[in-house]
């Protein structure tokens, strides 16, 4: 039976299909979306076909050549983001009429922050959940630039990113001062060297892994002193390569501590080779009132104290 063409009236089924479409686009295809949505690829395909039939045109190309959006699909994706953001704004506005915290909090966080010992974010989330047991918390582990974009277009309520730049549309709240040291593994020739024997010239002879993600100008200066022969888009990848015994590289002390304690990693000349990365919580300027976000930021602010400027 031929499905009814879209007439401008949205049903819950339409919204569900649009959410599936958004996830497929953001995951880059059906296979990755299958994991994200926790439904079968066949169910995703049916939903996409039904949505295309409802709208009256093809949204994407899928097949052996891979996944790609049509021109109409790109427009519908942007319209979908606006629509779903508006729905969330509506929920937020309704929530302001209640004394209880009801709704969602969407947060974007830079990778490998959970081992930071101060645990300001963890405590704030715990206190928020105690204040609003019905609050749904959604965390996305994504790169800083994606967090900024998602905040500006309303897909996220808050984020945690390195303090590398200030965008005019965002508010910034200092959180952490993270110390990084230069490490080698127990399999590396430098592991058994006396620190006094390691010169800058000697270090430059060994292969090193450096970040492929954004860094402050000060931190980048440290990377130029190394013999870069590998890069990684996140800190876990850097750890993988250092632990291989073939590379040296910088890691945050809180992230490396588990391997240091096990004797698998060693800091090279820690009094000399180190740098700091500052992290901030960010929200969008001019965002509509949001009781859940306000409550989270209140809890976060209560945990922002002198630790924010102390060394780890």
Structure confidence at residue 98 as a pLDDT band (50, 70, 90)? low
Residue 309 has pLDDT above 70, yes or no: no
Q: Does domain 177-277 have CATH number 3.50.50.60?
A: no
Structure confidence at residue 308 as a pLDDT band (50, 70, 90)? very low
> Could you tell me which CATH class the domain 12-85 is placed in?
mainly alpha
Q: What is the mean pLDDT of residues 109-137?
A: 89
| Res 311: pLDDT | 39
Q: pLDDT above 70 covers what percent of the chain?
A: 90
Provide the Cα torsion 25, 27, 32, 37; round to 10°: -80
| Res 188: pLDDT | 95
What does DSSP say about strands 60-61 and 274-284: parallel, antiparallel, or unpaired?
unpaired
Determine if residue 58 is left, alpha or beta; phi over 0 gives left, psi from -120 to 50 gives alpha, anything else beta.
Answer: beta
Q: pLDDT above 90 covers what percent of the chain?
A: 46
Residue 307 has pLDDT above 80, yes or no: no
Nearest to 18 by CA among 43, 56, 48, 61: 48
Total number of residues shown for the chain:
312
> Tokens 């309704």 identify what position?
94
Q: What is the mean pLDDT of residues 136-163?
A: 91
b vs e for 203-229, b when ≥16 Cβ sit within 10 Å of the residue's Cβ? beebebbbbebebeeebeebbeebeee
Identical fold for domains 89-172+282-309 and 177-277, yes or no, is: yes
Residue 99 has pLDDT above 80, yes or no: no
Give the start-to-end residue ranges of the domains of the chain. 12-85, 89-172+282-309, 177-277
| Res 257: pLDDT | 95
> CA of 193: how far to CAs of 53, 164, 196, in Å?
68, 35, 8
Angle at 222 between CA 217 and CA 226, to 5 degrees: 135
| Res 306: pLDDT | 36
| Res 312: pLDDT | 41
**246 contacts: CB under 8 Å, gap ≥ 6:** 188, 207
CA–CA distance, 312 with 306 (Å, rounded to integer): 12
- For residues 67 and 136, the model is more confident at 136
27-83 pLDDT, tens per residue? 888 888 888 888 888 999 999 999 998 898 899 887 776 788 899 999 999 889 888
Give yes or no for a contact between 139 and 107, defined as CB atoms under 8 angstroms apart: yes
**103 contacts: CB under 8 Å, gap ≥ 6:** 91, 92, 95, 135, 136, 291, 292
Lowest mean pLDDT among 45-59, 190-204, 207-221: 190-204
CA–CA distance, 183 with 162 (Å, rounded to integer): 21
Give yes or no for a contact between 147 and 159, defined as CB atoms under 8 angstroms apart: yes
Q: What is the mean pLDDT of residues 266-291?
A: 90
Residue 151 has pLDDT above 80, yes or no: yes
Count other Cβ atoms within 10 Å, centred on residue 238. Answer: 28
Mean pLDDT of the chain: 86
- For residues 61 and 248, the model is more confident at 248
Nearest to 181 by CA among 248, 232, 82, 233: 248
Bridge partners (DSSP) listed for residue 184: 266
Q: Is 252 exposed, middle or buried (0-12, 13-18, 19+ CB in 10 A)?
A: buried
CA–CA distance, 63 with 55 (Å, rounded to integer): 21
Q: What is the mean pLDDT of residues 115-122?
A: 86
| Res 281: pLDDT | 95
Task: Output the CATH code of domain 89-172+282-309.
Answer: 3.40.190.10
Q: Which range, 19-28, 118-127, 222-231, 255-264, has the best average confidence (pLDDT)?
A: 255-264
φ, ψ for residue 207, nearest 5 deg: -65, 140
Nearest to 20 by CA among 34, 3, 4, 5: 34
């Amino acid at each position: 039976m031929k499905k009814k063409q879209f007439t401008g009236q949205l049903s819950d089924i339409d919204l569900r299909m649009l959410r599936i479409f958004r996830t497929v686009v953001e995951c880059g295809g059906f296979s990755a979306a299958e994991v994200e949505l926790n439904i079968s690829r066949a169910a995703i395909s049916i939903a996409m076909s039904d949505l295309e039939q409802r709208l009256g045109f093809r949204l994407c190309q899928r097949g052996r050549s891979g996944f790609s959006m049509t021109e109409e699909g790109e427009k519908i994706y942007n319209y979908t983001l606006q629509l779903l953001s508006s729905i969330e704004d509506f929920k937020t506005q309704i929530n302001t009429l209640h004394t209880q915290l009801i709704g969602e909090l969407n947060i974007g966080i830079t990778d490998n922050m959970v081992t930071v010992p101060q645990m300001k974010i963890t405590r704030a989330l715990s206190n928020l959940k105690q204040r609003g047991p019905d609050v749904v918390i959604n965390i996305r582990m994504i790169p800083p630039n994606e967090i900024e974009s998602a905040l500006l277009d309303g897909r996220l309520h808050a984020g945690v990113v390195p303090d590398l730049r200030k965008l005019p549309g965002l508010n910034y709240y200092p959180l952490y001062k993270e110390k990084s040291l230069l490490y080698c593994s127990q399999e590396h020739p430098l592991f058994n060297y006396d620190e006094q024997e390691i010169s800058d010239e000697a270090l430059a002879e060994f292969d090193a892994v450096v970040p492929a993600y954004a860094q402050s100008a000060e931190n980048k200066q440290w990377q130029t002193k190394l013999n870069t022969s590998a890069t990684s888009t996140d800190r876990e990848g850097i750890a993988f390569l250092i632990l291989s015994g073939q590379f040296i590289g910088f890691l945050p002390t809180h992230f490396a501590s588990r391997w240091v304690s096990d004797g698998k990693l060693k800091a090279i000349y820690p009094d000399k080779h180190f740098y700091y990365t500052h992290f901030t919580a960010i929200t969008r300027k001019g965002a509509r009132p949001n009781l859940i976000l306000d409550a989270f930021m209140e809890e976060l602010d209560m945990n922002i104290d002198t630790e924010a400027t102390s060394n780890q």
